[in-house]
Structure 1
């Protein structure tokens, strides 16, 4: 859990994000620039909240789920719960951390799976890739670079 908190501590602040997504079905590429604000938990050490994220009008909270964690082959794996302002339904995500600079998320929404990997190239440059699958077939991929401002 310390590596996850360390990752979000490094992530706190305001970032400019440039994401390019390629949809395989129609062979179209889209690019989007946005800003992200990441705030670490300001509560007590026993708080379940890890961080709050905001992309424009969208906000999410990342919440610990300490009942479901494991240490396998040197990787810390556990489940996180995500909430957002538009939907009270919580999404459970499998999270793996290999070191304080690399984190992966695997999220399922029915028959759709999203695999995301985030890593720090430098202290103020964070990169990520996403693979979106429906019924185990890849339908889209994306690459994102984020610069801390």
Structure 2
């Protein structure tokens, strides 16, 4: 499986249930979200715009992924609502690894490209690092309609958060058909 296939399999509506642990405070919180994940073709205006923001040629983009979420966390009154666009750019010598572009999140002022790799076990690993934080997220499918996600966020000052999510596809029995080509198809 390559990154485009992983993103394609992720497309759809999902219910996500998570547990997060603030390790420094020895505190755990539960939460849940509704996710809407949409595969975007390389030519989508959001993909092109994101590549241009990172000063990269949009033709290097393999595809894009738009993720919208609407969720709650135990003990917090405010809902967590947001969205992001992700764009993978494969390493020329290693198509299962590359750079992952993403839109800025709330309060972020600096673009930060991360890395992705798809392992032989079909697990997607995403990493990002700056002077003040390091994050690592791993995602994999137990079956086409059940996905798991773990993440670790380490911040300067010693604060770390770990989380586990189980995500269940809603309303369909398989991912929608692909709207973009896989890396293997592009090379042919």
1:52 matches 2:51 = no
Structure whose residues are more often strand by fraction? 1
Q: TM-score scaled to structure 1, two decimals? A: 0.82
Matches within 5 A, 1:28-47: 28-42=27-41, 44=43
Q: Structure 1 residue 131: deviation in Å?
A: 1.2
1:103–1:118 CA contact under 8 A, matched in 2: yes
Q: Structure 1 residue 129: deviation in Å?
A: 0.7
**Equivalenced residues, count:** 144
Q: TM-score scaled to structure 2, two decimals? A: 0.67
Matches within 5 A, 1:1-149: 3-42=2-41, 44=43, 48=61, 49-56=63-70, 57-66=81-90, 68-71=91-94, 76-84=96-104, 86=106, 89-99=110-120, 101-135=122-156, 139-149=160-170
Corresponding residue for residue 73 of structure 2: none
* Alignment CA distance shift 1:70-1:29 (3 Å): farther
Q: Which deviates more from structure 2 when the two are superposed, residues 118-127 or residues 38-47?
A: 38-47
Instruction: Output the aligned Cα RMSD.
Output: 2.7
* Alignment CA distance shift 1:122-1:98 (3 Å): same
**Rg comparison, structure with higher value:** 2
Once the two structures are superposed, residues 91-122 of structure 1 have per-residue CA deviations (whole angstroms, 9 ceiling, x without a partner) of 21110111483100011243210110000001
Structure whose residues are more often helix by fraction? 2
Q: Unaligned 5+ residue runs, structure 2? A: 45-58, 71-80, 171-188
SS of the residue 1:61 aligns to: strand
